[in-house]
Amino acid sequence: MKKYKVGMVSLGCDKNRVDAEIILGRMSEQYEITNNPKEADIIIVNTCGFIESAKQESIDTILEMAEYKNKYKCKMLIATGCLTQRYGKELQELMPEIDITLGVNDYEKINEYIMNFINNDEKLIEVNYSDQKINEGIRILTTKSHTAYLRIAEGCNNFCTYCIIPKIRGKFRSRDKESIIKEAELLSKSGVKELILIAQDLTMYGTDLYGGQKLHELLRELSKVDGIEWIRLLYCYPEEIYDELIDEIANNNKVVKYLDLPIQHISNNILRLMARKTSKEAIINKIETLRKRIPDIVVRTSLIVGFPGETEEDFNELTKFLQDYKLDNVGVFKYSQEEGTPAAKMENQVPEEIKEIRERNLMLVQQEVAKEINELKISNIYDILVEGHNGEYYYGRSYEMAPEIDGVVFFDSEENIKTGAIVKVKITNCADYDLMGVVVYESCK
Binding residues: 13, 48, 82, 156, 160, 163
Q: How far is residue 113 CA from its own chain's centroid?
A: 29
Give bridge partners of residue 259 from the DSSP assignment. 233, 299
Q: Which of 3, 87, 14, 83 lies closest to 40, judged by CA?
A: 3
Phi, psi of 116 (to 5 degrees): -65, -40
* Rounded distance between C-alpha atoms, residue 276 and residue 262, angstroms: 11
* Rounded distance between C-alpha atoms, residue 81 and residue 419, angstroms: 31
Q: Quick one: residue 365, left, alpha or beta (phi over 0 = left, psi -120 to 50 = alpha)?
A: alpha
* Rounded distance between C-alpha atoms, residue 40 and residue 394, angstroms: 32
Q: In what order do the strands lie in the sheet with 5-10?
A: 32-34, 5-10, 42-47, 76-81, 100-102, 124-126
**Exposed, middle or buried: residue 268 (CB in 10 Å: 0-12, 13-18, 19+)?**
middle
Q: Which of 86, 111, 113, 82 lies closest to 99, judged by CA?
A: 113
Q: Which of 322, 331, 246, 249 lies closest to 280, judged by CA?
A: 322
Mention every residue, 6+ apart, whose C-beta is less than 8 A from residue 407: 374, 401, 431, 433, 434, 435
- Residues making up the binding site for [4Fe-4S] cluster: 13, 48, 82, 156, 160, 163
